[in-house]
Homo-oligomer: A and B are copies of this chain.
Amino acid sequence: MTKDLESYSEEGFIRENIQSNQIENKISTEPSLSVDCVIFGFDDQVLKVLLIKSDQPEFLGLWSLLGNKLKMNEDLDAAAERVLYERTGLENIFLEQTKTFGSINRHPEGRIVSIAYYSLLNINHIQLQKTDNDLHWHPVSEVGKMAFDHNLILETCYQTLQKKVLTEPIGLNLLPETFTLRDLQLLYEAILGTSFDRRNFRKKFFSTKLLVDRNEIEKEVSHRPAKLYSFDFEQYNKIKNSRFSLV
């Protein structure tokens, strides 16, 4: 793997045009391209996002999304997968492009256009890698002011998630392999910021036939234990292009 385009700050940029806040990479007249990933996880009944501390001088101390420069020989999705892999060690994870952000002054090092992705993963499976810059999980509702335009990117991806979770069962990517209906309902309530009637929620979800009864019950809870379910990927592929509406 080449090391040349690993980060924006490696190459000793030359500031030439103060007025327009641009920076020239060699003598290029091209904007630079990066990907930024909003990595969502669900833990402790709370929707979380994986962040690091920015090391941009302008944004010292602020949190920032995980991102990286796009390599010249790398597809867009591959760049996002790389970011995810470098930090979580995970591959084949739900990852989807949302929107590209390219305001002229969004980045202090010059014109950097960033393609945003969001990702959904089961937080229990992962062992964070390269934990420099204080990599860790933040509740989505408690993220304060972020570096760059990352609040906007996060908000956009969060809205996409909220919208999509109503029509496609992508939420299940956030749960462990087996889960209770309570887990599922708490997940949806955390994502959407609403609450559902328990009986109606169950009815609705069972009607999709996406859930497989594992014939097991949860252990070591001090109340009546719930049945465990897992996700039926076959059924998912059947219905994923049809209609599924939670509300």
Residues of A within 8 A of B (CB): 4-5, 20, 22, 25-33, 70, 72-76, 97, 99-104, 111, 113, 115
Min C-beta distance of A126 to chain B, whole Å: 27
Q: What is the total number of copies of this protein in its complex?
A: 2
Residue in B25, B74, B115 whose beta carbon sits within 8 Å of that of A104 in the complex = B74
Point out the residues of chain B lying under 8 angstroms from A113, CB to CB: 33, 70, 76
Point out the residues of chain B lying under 8 angstroms from A33, CB to CB: 30-31, 33, 102, 113
Closest B residue to A243 by beta carbon equals: B247
Closest B residue to A33 by beta carbon equals: B31
Point out the residues of chain B lying under 8 angstroms from A4, CB to CB: 29
**Contact yes or no, B29 A31, CB < 8 A:** no
Tell me the complex Cα distance, A163–B38, Å: 24
Closest B residue to A115 by beta carbon equals: B100
Tell me the complex Cα distance, A73–B32, Å: 13
CB<8 Å pairs between A and B, sample of 30? A4-B29, A22-B72, A25-B28, A25-B29, A25-B30, A26-B27, A26-B28, A27-B27, A27-B28, A29-B72, A30-B30, A30-B31, A30-B32, A30-B33, A30-B72, A31-B33, A31-B70, A33-B33, A33-B102, A33-B113, A70-B102, A70-B113, A72-B111, A73-B104, A74-B104, A75-B103, A75-B104, A76-B100, A76-B102, A97-B100
